Structure 1
């Protein structure tokens, strides 16, 4: 049934404290080497280091060799698996700083290899060598240094951080292209991320070192920023083309070989949107009241005077980007329109408040809208959040970032921008909604001689050919930073819109016939440590495709131009006194629509439970809206289409093929109307709270009697979301994990449901900061156990050093039996705290 605004969400009855259930399973065995083999392989490295250390001036000798293990040089120790408590053992060595740990790409021998990064002083190098020499002689290490013994047994390589680590292959190619034909002194603006040092004095010293090195190379520092809270230290610099050529060539005597440098990357470049097919403005809804904003948009300078935006934005522009926005203000105007109104082709869905708008980009006279090129964009975002909370956006806890850095696709490591959002999410209680990013590179379609043969094939064959080509390119179509953020909600584009008049032409054509799927251009997951990303898919406008007539084999292109026949209808800058509308497609618009839905969820909750929502902490609000947005998402059986492509022989383990499906779908397609209210046959309940270390609580979920009387299809789904504190530089980056304890068979029988594979697997779902479970069946429930089922959520043992602070969570539970009109009423009758909205029964 459609949602009914007179049937708001229901507040779960208060939980009871419960004993935490033990987690099962355990890690696999990591590969180990014999001491004899390790001495043979690594002994020469340590013996050479000992010889140099015994020389008259060891520091000078070591620094003269770019391949040497030297003081203040970042060292990399590659191992076959995790070494428990290694960071603590590092702290026992005076002058040795633990700089982080990361996963390496798996190979045929090691499923989960890792590496550790250390910054040693000269005395620390001597002690490391002494530890090795003692282990080499006796196989032992002193008491308290046990992790070093484990490391020596599992060590694959020990080496300095080098030019190949600092400049990725993709960025090498970018730099080579940007300086092609450029004069030697032509300045290229780049971001140089520095090895993060805990001590302020050490950070100041390496900043002086790199500033001097940049000057020697003929460049200049433009901006600098350090944020210890998420281990970020960087400079923005102009570097001459001749030095960029040396950097791209991985010359160890260039800046790519400078010890303080962790990475050299292009300056952040925003991803533009395509718009088209202007249309006239029709009715203008009344503006909202003067209540303080609870949602914000960080985007390009909008057209504030547009009738659809006038009186609806609280614009805060401390950098006066308005004065620089002399071109077409497309991106910010479109995103503001979608957040405020939704898709203008849809029925009106007004929100209750104005939107706080912070410009972070501007439209130059020509070309795409740009970030302020004189500042590091991460510093801009951090400052924007701090200023927002101190000023006109003090009540904001939802932030829309329909932006992405097209120079930074996800490569297994959380981006510095993603780390910044994770820190801000937890520290300020903010839900960031971030677009996954778009990619318009062509897709090869095999098996057809020409376009005519493709169109003559059966629809399922065509659909499968398109998906097979897309899946073959998944490694090149990964999320754009900051969509890799763990605490943020990442939004992909669903191939869907509200356009009523179909396109009558032959080309372009819709790439999937009769099949729900993401847009071809929507970037794919997975996220950090194979977590679910994108989180959800939201309508991003149907995106047609067209073949390149000259390409062989067939090359399918996403059609770049939206139109009145496909796309989301939004406010547009126009020559006609700024009164027009136009259409857009992609993940930016999908993300803005998700933000619009998030606001509608809050509005409904605030109307129904003002006494609860008013004093609710920001972090709990953010976690609840996060849970609610994911809660109404599902795969809509699309896995039945995708699985034969990703698992053609049907031999993959269910965890594996579901992970591959999840790469395309995340948690699934979001039904926005289901997200904002219930229906006669669907009851959604909610709760918020916080969990201290290793705490657990149990909720009694009401079960409608109808489930024990009819053998009709029913579904139970549960979504738990939280904002996790994070540990940058540690493999246990997500410091806190929450869990939904498994429902017992008695509970499943009482509701008449069973587990389903039509969702991300349990292990993958628990890799991020959202846990989503669905149970379905069509059998009569056994209600002999009572009118409720127990639902326990708990905080697992903290990863790494314990976190004392309680962690906020949001919880959503739905019981649904399509067509059974008494479900909502029967659940509501068991709820103690009734909503304050009049309910028609």
Structure 2
């Protein structure tokens, strides 16, 4: 055990969460007036009705998916659907970046201080007086929102004392209004399966809605709000099924290879999830017959109720796909039971070059495995991996793997067990459980050895679910294979499923599994291996200073940030997602013609995918060394160099000739970062195990993984990389929200694992844990050290809270458990630094770094009260939620204050949870 081990919080007191007043306010959006809305939507309703009549006459399906596109927020749409016979709720999808028009736009809110901020000679009180005149004369409402009245007319109401500024005052208000009207809007897509009876009823309600203010009769009152805010009402059509999934580009690429051959083109069909088992089976058979009718075949199907996922993997002849690309749609492509057509998952990993030989010695492990890996089969005879892996291969994937093809799993296992070989760290003491889920691609004729991928005869979702269930549950043929697992490494990403607002099915699966089994997934963000248009040739780049080159490269990456988002399943809310820092432990002697376009080891790698995550949560949470990625620069275009030489991260690899067991190679990428994060979690586990046993504490097994999740994030901070990003990317337009820009590139920051393994005299860390119910509060007490009272020393307070949330995939809010805390800033003289205070609460980790040097006096015995509160987010939170919390208080190592000892003397070990009610 370290000389200054982490401290353990006493058990928290439990109280009922205080009731919060609901927050009401005028919507910031302008909607069409009643008559305009009638004129806009009546033709759309009539078109919908006519389409049902036409389809029925033609003998087509009597059901269509109804799409209602709205602006602004509307809650309880599912309830509104229940009262319309013939409507079946399917999904709600958040929409961002909706273009405003004359009917829908953002309403301008005039602040009371606006005119004093814009006009030098107007004071705050006078500005408030002008605001009052706007209200009195009905130019704004009581909340400050501009009303539908010509602002130019306000000039006649401006008092004589402001007459010299009257034109300027009106211009300021007008400019504010214009600026707001240009802002992009947000809204929702409401999707329901509907028949003609349902459309008839909706049309009847629409006809009854004869006044913009009059509500429809019960139980249809919610439709008044829906009608008011609806932009478009239409059918889900073929274009919806093909748009924004990457399927068109995928089919074009496949046609280039397979056109004119007997080979078929494989793709995925995701169906609208129906709750009734028999109905799902009937739909699946119908889709299968449509595929058979086009000389196609069904490869496999997948249904996972817990995430509302139902899909078919099928294949069709090239000529059938070519018709689709020519806009000739057969019945399968116009089938209303189909939600989306998707490419086959592109979970493919490139092989690494052959590398070089070194002298490595094998070793032994002891104990039960804590870490599991899902990856390609490893080369277990390598000296670095011998006796370290428990390979479990019930699907027989290893039989399809030549030894020389086992690149990715070998490299990732090397990083998990040993870290970067150049760092010469101690290996993990426990064995690692390993489940192969990839094979060499039998259709990869371009690469030798072929790339490794998820076999096409499987759904990745099905493979992962079966693999994880096998770890924790027994079945009729097999007992539980590795019940001690707390961390699962997943260094695989699906490049065909980049995150755009909607969670992927695989992300939902990881979320469900992580809560069900209380296990932490460490997931790679994905690599962006596309070329970068650097707009300078190699000679121009070489003449730039390092600072100028950093700014230039960063700006070019930022210009393309929309195409550099995380890949599935990195969008999982319960997992820790890892991006890469452009850094490693290697020594570089010769880079040849390769070029480092980012000469700094504190910034994200040029190949790392970035956030944000679901509902603008912070993703990736952490950025860890992923190796320095060099580029080949030709004609102003930078392409990734895949050299096996340094720089990069040195790992074990497969033999180049028979009998080799010591070959290594340099590689780079977010897979490496996820593997190193997994290794760090294993190291934290050993520290935690020693700490708890040393204090005679027995922790609930369900709390262990969330405490590991808490501690791996707890040591993270942005560091100097944020300063470089700020100097390059900060503008007047994004200055107020720039913390969100940094979070997109750096998450919560770069973790320093050593900081959470032990304390120092000037740094004390306490950990706590528990399980909490909805509408409950747990209060932790962190003692204040007397030596810091009345001192003006810079101090840092870090608080991290993490949990696994149960999910509700039928609810757009999705995350059922919303845990949070409010940092006690005043008690210790600190203010928030690093990530945005609201954004940190959008995921399943809240990590707050607070700094300051304000002199604060307090008494010996005073403490910081940190309250963990549990609120329901998505509906039906009936489960208890396990969580971990860590709190650190520190001063500079150069300051002679006994922070650790004084906190240690004042914190006690828990005996039992103290129950209270208020």
TM-score by length of 1: 0.91
Q: 1:629 to 1:802 in 2, by over 3 A?
A: same
2:277 is the alignment partner of 1:200:
yes
- Cα distance change on mapping 1:302 and 1:19 into 2, 3 Å: same
1:14 aligned to 11, 28, 31, which one? 11
1:375-454 aligned within 5 A: 375-390=458-473, 391-446=480-535, 448=536, 450-454=537-541
Counterpart mapping for 1:545-560 below 5 A: 545-548=631-634, 551=635, 554-560=636-642
1:560-709 residue pairs with structure 2 within 5 A? 560-575=642-657, 576-610=659-693, 616-648=699-731, 650-654=732-736, 656-708=737-789
What residue in structure 2 maps to residue 748 of structure 1? 828
Question: Which residue pairs with 2:231 in the alignment?
Answer: 156
Q: How far apart are 1:818 and its partner, in Å? A: 2.4
Taking a change above 3 Å as real, the CA distance of residues 585 and 51 of structure 1, as seen in their structure-2 partners, is closer
Which of 595, 609, 621 is the matching residue for 1:523?
A: 609
Change (3 A) 1:148 1:783: same
How far has the Cα of 1:709 moved from its partner?
6.1
Between the aligned partners of 1:573 and 1:614, the Cα distance in structure 2 is 47
Other structure's SS at 2:430 match: coil
Deviation at 1:75, TM superposition (A): 1.5
Tell me if 1:34 matches 2:33.
Answer: yes
Computed over aligned residues only, the root mean square deviation of the Cα atoms, in angstroms, reads 2.5
Secondary structure in 2 matching 1:106: strand
Evaluate the alpha carbon distance shift between residue 806 and residue 478 of structure 1 in structure 2; reply closer, same or farther with a 3 A threshold. Answer: same
* 208 and 618 in structure 1: CA distance in 2 versus 1, 3 angstrom threshold: farther
The 1:589–1:12 alpha-carbon spacing in structure 2 relative to 1, beyond 3 Å, is: same
Candidates 804, 811, 815, aligned match of 1:734? 815
SS of residue in 2 equivalent to 1:384:
helix
State the alpha-carbon separation in 1 of the partners of residues 584 and 264 from structure 2: 44
1:455 maps to which of 522, 525, 542: 542
CA distance in 2, matches of 1:80, 1:294: 48
Cα distance change, pair 547–318 in 1 and its aligned pair in 2 (3 A): same
1:468 matched to 2:555? The reply is: yes
- Is the 1:425–1:431 contact (alpha carbons within 8 Å) kept by the matching residues of 2? yes
Secondary structure of 2:186's match? coil
SS at match of 1:484: coil
Deviation at 1:744, TM superposition (A): 4.7
On the 8 A contact 1:190/1:267 being kept in 2, the answer is: yes
CA distance in 1, matches of 2:630, 2:793: 38
1:503, distance to aligned residue in structure 2 (A): 2.8
Matched, 1:115 2:192: no
Is 1:178 the counterpart of 2:254? The answer is yes
Task: Write the distance in 1 (CA, Å) between the matches of 2:8 and 2:230.
Answer: 53
Counterparts of 1:502 and 1:335, CA distance in 2 = 22
1:82 equivalenced with 2:53 (yes/no): no
* Alpha-carbon shift at residue 277 of structure 1 (Å): 6.1
Which structure: larger Rg?
Answer: 2
**In the TM superposition, what is the alpha-carbon distance from 1:612 to its structure 2 partner?**
8.6
Shift of 1:258: 1.5
Q: Which residue of 2 is the match for residue 764 of structure 1? A: 839
Change (3 A) 1:529 1:250: farther
Matched ranges for 1:172-321 at <5 A: 172-180=248-256, 182-183=259-260, 185-273=262-350, 275-276=352-353, 278-284=355-361, 286-289=363-366, 291-321=367-397
SS at match of 2:598: coil
Pairwise CA distance, 1:677: 2.6
* 2: CA distance, partners of 1:830 / 1:622: 27
Q: Is the 8 A contact 1:397 1:618 kept in 2?
A: no
Q: Does the alignment pair 1:101 with 2:188?
A: no
Aligned to 2:128: none
Change (3 A) 1:457 1:832: same
CA deviation map 1:466-490 (0-9, x unaligned): 1011111111111111101111110
CA deviation map 1:443-494 (0-9, x unaligned): 2224x5x322322222211110010111111111111111011111100111
Once the two structures are TM-superposed, the CA of residue 828 in structure 1 deviates from its matched residue by: 1.7
* SS of 2:209 mapped into structure 1: helix
Q: Residues 580 and 604 of structure 2 are in contact (CA less than 8 Å); yes or no, is this contact kept in structure 1?
A: yes
- 3-state SS of 1:598 partner: helix
**Cα separation, 1, equivalents of 2:466 and 2:346:** 19
| Deviates further, 490-499 or 12-21 | 12-21
Structure 2: stretches of 5+ with no match in the other structure: 106-183, 443-448, 474-479, 912-918
Separation of aligned partners in 1, 2:314 and 2:840:
40
CA contact (8 A) 1:630 1:719 kept: yes
CA deviation map 1:119-163 (0-9, x unaligned):
124433332232222224894422122221111111111111112
- 1:495 equivalent in alignment to 2:570: no
Could you tell me how far apart the structure 1 residues matched to 2:70 and 2:331 are? 29
Cα pair distance change 1:24/1:721, threshold 3 Å: farther
Which whole-Å CA distance do the structure 2 matches of 1:63 and 1:528 have between them? 41
SS, match of residue 180 in structure 1: helix
Report Cα offsets for 1:813-837 as digits up to 9, x if no partner: 11121214633222222222299xx
Cα displacement (A) at 1:249: 4.4
Aligned partners of 2:87 and 2:193 also within 8 Å: yes
| Cα distance in structure 2, aligned partners of 1:48 and 1:472 | 41
The alpha carbon displacement at 1:231 in A equals: 0.6
Contact 1:274 1:585 in 2 (8 A): no
**Normalised TM-score (structure 2):** 0.84
SS in 2 for 1:680: coil
Aligned to 1:839: none
Whole-angstrom distance in 2 between the partners of 1:101 and 1:613: 49
**Higher mean displacement: 279-288 or 327-336:** 279-288
Distance across 1 between alignment mates of 2:255 and 2:531: 25
* Distance of 1:119 and 1:616 partners within structure 2: 48
Alpha-carbon shift at residue 511 of structure 1 (Å): 2.6
Q: Write the distance in 2 (CA, Å) between the matches of 1:833 and 1:542.
A: 44
3-state SS in 2 of match to 1:600 = helix
1:838 maps to what in 2? none
Cα distance in 2 between the residues matched to 1:7 and 1:703: 18
Q: CA deviation at 1:602?
A: 0.7
Tell me how many residue pairs correspond in the alignment.
807
**1:621-667 superposed Cα distances (whole Å, 9 cap, x missing partner):** 2221111111111110322211233323x34243x211111111111
**In 2, Cα distance between the equivalents of 1:233 and 1:430?**
25
Question: Alpha carbons of 1:421 and 1:614: their partners in 2 closer, same or farther (altered >3 Å)?
Answer: farther
